[in-house]
A and B are shown apart, each in its own frame.
Chain A
């Protein structure tokens, strides 16, 4: 794997300049902009905030995926913890068996 960001020869030049002249653009906005430039402009510049049923449903679907992912993370920790303690106890048993 290559470490650190880099620009390939075919890539456009990276953005430079003072921070106040280049406000952060969010990754999700790139998708909005591709959908419709005016839709993005209304949201970002005109600050139109609309909560549609589709957006609410999308947030809920994300949360359900988040629950599934969280369960795998928690169980991963449980497995590692149990395995570590089991190895430790096995080692203690072996040691006691030898020095008995």
Chain B
């Protein structure tokens, strides 16, 4: 084969590669837009499920040995300001754009602590993001809430963790600590709870009874039905 033919062959291969590269860049840009990943951020860990697990071992459980907490953060991005934990939540019927539920904020705060305490990351994130999505996984308008990692929030997390741990160690029974009928109506443990606030007869939940497994002894909702 002559030099010229070899050079022409390589040049054609290069052109083909560049065309493929341009197509891949274009498709990657669209994919990043669909996933709403800001420019300049890199995915460092993901634990979202789905058909493909391209990150392999990086889909991992984070642990903070100092506070004794663990968890699988939905997504950890690395941006100019450091690591950004992202938690995805499906928006419920009571979703309000631009707001986040306190429990979701606290879970995100725990995820931020995990990024700090886990040796594979080891840095304190400045903020974390909550993203409320629809059934197709699309972030809703106003569905991204950025939460600053403040000392107060960290204090809330450790206070909760200490109360939970005390209950686990002492086997103390914990009781309902709110007066919200709406919380009880949407609680996934409502059928197993004998302290629930009695639902109204016209509640849609009255006809939507999920299956209960693993509940020792007591029948679901007995307390509520007896009260009625």
Chain A residues close to B by CB (< 8 Å): 1-6, 8, 10-12, 14-15, 21-55, 57-79, 82-83, 85-86, 89-90, 92-93, 96-97, 100
Contacts and interface: CB of A to CB of B under 8 A. Distances in A.
Contacts of B117: 5
Given A35-B103, A82-B20, A12 B155 contact: yes
A48 B192 contact: yes
A14 B69 CA distance: 11
A3 B31 CA distance: 32
Given A15-B161, A29-B164, A51 B210 contact: yes
Given A15-B67, A30-B157, A74-B52, A37 B174 contact: yes
Contact of B183 (A35, A62, A83): A35
Contacts of A42: 189, 192-193
Contact of A61 (B75, B136, B210): B136
B93 to A, nearest CB: 9
A36 B53 contact: no
Given A10-B151, A75-B28, A93-B7, A67 B67 contact: no
Given A38-B195, A39-B187, A60 B171 contact: no
A14 B183 CA distance: 31
A13 to B, nearest CB: 8
Contacts of B137: 61-68
Interface in B178-200: 178, 183-184, 186-189, 191-193, 195
A31 B133 CA distance: 18
B110 A45 contact: no
Given A6-B124, A32-B103, A86-B14, 7 more contacts: A4-B123, A30-B164, A58-B89, A71-B35, A72-B37, A75-B28, A100-B7
A24 B214 contact: no
B154 interface: yes
Interface residues of B, number: 108
Contacts of A62: 48-50, 74, 88, 90, 137
A69 B37 CA distance: 9
A56 to B, nearest CB: 9
Contacts of A74: 52, 54
A83 to B, nearest CB: 6
A14 B67 contact: yes
B123 A2 contact: yes
Contacts of B88: 61-62, 65
Given A48-B189, A72-B31, A34 B165 contact: no
B66 interface: yes
B215 A46 contact: yes
A64 B134 CA distance: 10
Interface string B133-150: 111110000000000000
B215 A48 contact: yes
